[in-house]
Chain A
Amino acid sequence: MNTRNTKVMNRFDVTSRLIAKLKHEEAVIGGIGNTNFDLWAAGHRPQNFYMLGSMGLAFPIALGVALAQPARRVFALEGDGSLLMQLGALSTIATLKPKNLIMIVMDNGIYQITGAQPTPAANVADIVAIAAGSGLANSTWAADEEDFERLVDEAMSASEPSLIAVRIDDKPGVGTTRRDPVQIRERFMHGLGVREPL
């Protein structure tokens, strides 16, 4: 485990720090549950997409956006439990190498939202080692909040996809996303310049 030297941070705080750095209409995909709740709580932006199900698909959805809009930076926020559902997606991303895709893993080792049960990986696996072993060489643990911000800055101009893992506490999400999937999707498409409102 290489996480022992990393500070335990807070999802909402880290998410807010990310959002504060976005100046170029970067897309952000929030995974199921707390990752999109905290994305919502950090302040809605038209370039945010919130998942209401399909656990594990934040990175694949973000990959699709990144392939459709190679000039736009695309961030994906995913929990460790969700990522464990779809580890194969890391190799797909490593093969396609979209340089505009930045993956952020919020790792608390638990399924917080269902009652804080430990994930099967909690005490044995290292998310960054898994990502690197899947072919994503540019995968790093954030040591603390300042290091996280530095890694985000680096990822903004990276020439390959980046994965930043953040060790977080066991706190629930701060807000609750308005669960209106059609509006979420439509607003997101407006935010990406794909469509104009009626």
Chain B
Amino acid sequence: MAIAEQQTQGSSERSWHSIVLQTLKRNEISLIPYVPDRVLTPLIKNLHADPFFTTFATAREEEAVGIVSGAWMGGRRAAVLMQTSGFATLANVLASLAVPYQIPLIMFVSERGTLGEFNYGQSLVCRTMRPVLDSLALEHHTITRLDELEFIADRSIKQAVTTQAPVALILNPLLTGGKTFDK
């Protein structure tokens, strides 16, 4: 946990959130709608601070998926940030928009509900995420290690764009530190 907290709180070049930000920028993903999550806070803060990005909150995750889909069709790359419980609201829009229209929907999901979850509801919601992804045969990766983050994120974004298919990048508490009861 000490290492994970350093990663979360530190502002060094090697923090998970700085790697995500740089990977987004390198892949020319400049539009970032999100529904916030405590763990994502440093990433959201730094995206807002960087004029390369247009970063804004939406009221619901599916709204953000609609925006990303429109932006892609208009020639601008975008990605959605959300929490596990937000992903749980997306089955309809994934099955009726992102997948059939072949939209490279790039999703970063901060994983709650595992590895020290203190809210029973969150732990149950988390169990619905991978079955939904698998039921649509969607590409997804659970990222647990800082040294693998850039490779997985960069390659997955490029694959999503070139194959015109959605991808979910699940940011595990082993990577981010997660949210713990005493925070």
Contacts and interface: CB of A to CB of B under 8 A. Distances in A.
Interface residues of A, number: 38
Given A89-B58, A89-B63, A91-B59, A53 B69 contact: no
Given A57-B63, A88-B59, A185 B70 contact: no
Interface in A13-36: 27, 29
Interface residues of B, number: 33
B17 to A, nearest CB: 23
Interface stretch (A65-73, A110-118, A138-146, A170-178): A65-73
B12 interface: no
A58 to B, nearest CB: 8
B49 interface: no
Contacts, number: 126
B96 interface: yes
A62 interface: yes
B42 interface: no
A60 to B, nearest CB: 3
A148 interface: no
B92 A53 contact: yes
B51 interface: no
A36 to B, nearest CB: 13
A192 B100 contact: no
Q: SS class of chain A's interface: helix, strand, loop or mixed?
A: helix
Nearest to A195: B75
A141 to B, nearest CB: 24
Interface in A163-198: 181-182, 184-185, 188-189, 192-194
Contact of A65 (B33, B54, B73, B100): B73
A137 interface: no
A57 B74 contact: no
Interface centre among B54, B66, B93 (most CB of A within 10 A): B66
Contacts of A92: 33, 56-59, 63, 67
10 contacts: A27-B74, A57-B69, A61-B73, A67-B71, A86-B60, A88-B63, A181-B100, A189-B75, A192-B74, A192-B75
Given A60-B66, A66-B70, 15 more contacts: A54-B62, A54-B93, A54-B96, A57-B97, A64-B67, A65-B74, A67-B31, A68-B31, A68-B73, A68-B75, A69-B76, A96-B56, A182-B100, A182-B101, A194-B73
